[in-house]
Structure 1
Amino acid sequence: MPVDTKESMVRVEQEIAKCDRCPDLVLCRKNPVIGRGADRAKVMIIGYVPDIK
C-alpha cells in the first residue's frame, strides 16, 4: 500500500507539536516551526532558528 506523504507530514507536525521528550527544550520553546518543501524530498534539513527580538 503506498504511503500518503501529505497525510504523513500532517502526523509528523502533530507529533512535533505535542512532543515532550526533551524537557529542557519544552521549557523554552514557544512555537515549533514546521518547514516547507517537497513531500517526497530525499533530504531533510533540521536547524535552530531563535526568535527575532
Structure 2
Amino acid sequence: MKVRGHRIELGEIESTLRAHPGIDEAVAVAQGTGSGNARLLAFAVPARGETEQDARLWR
C-alpha cells in the first residue's frame, strides 16, 4: 500500500510489532478514507503478564 506517496509493506509492520516482547499477536490493515487516501491501522494483542497500564503506553 502507499501512504502519502511512500510504499508500506503491511507484513513488515506486523513482523516488527510481533518482535516486541510485550506483544503476542499483531495485524496491520489499510483503511480507505474516501478521498482516495489510505490510512494505516495496526492492532496488537498484549503478551501474557502485560498490565493494562503497559498497554496504555502503546497508544
Interval containing the TM-score (normalised by the shorter chain): 0.3 to 0.5
Bigger helix share: 1
Q: Using CA pairs under 8 Å that are at least 6 residues apart, name the structure with larger relative contact order, 1 or 2.
A: 1
Q: 1 or 2, which has the higher strand percentage?
A: 2
Provide the TM-score with structure 1 as the length reference. 0.35
TM-score relative to the length of structure 2: 0.34
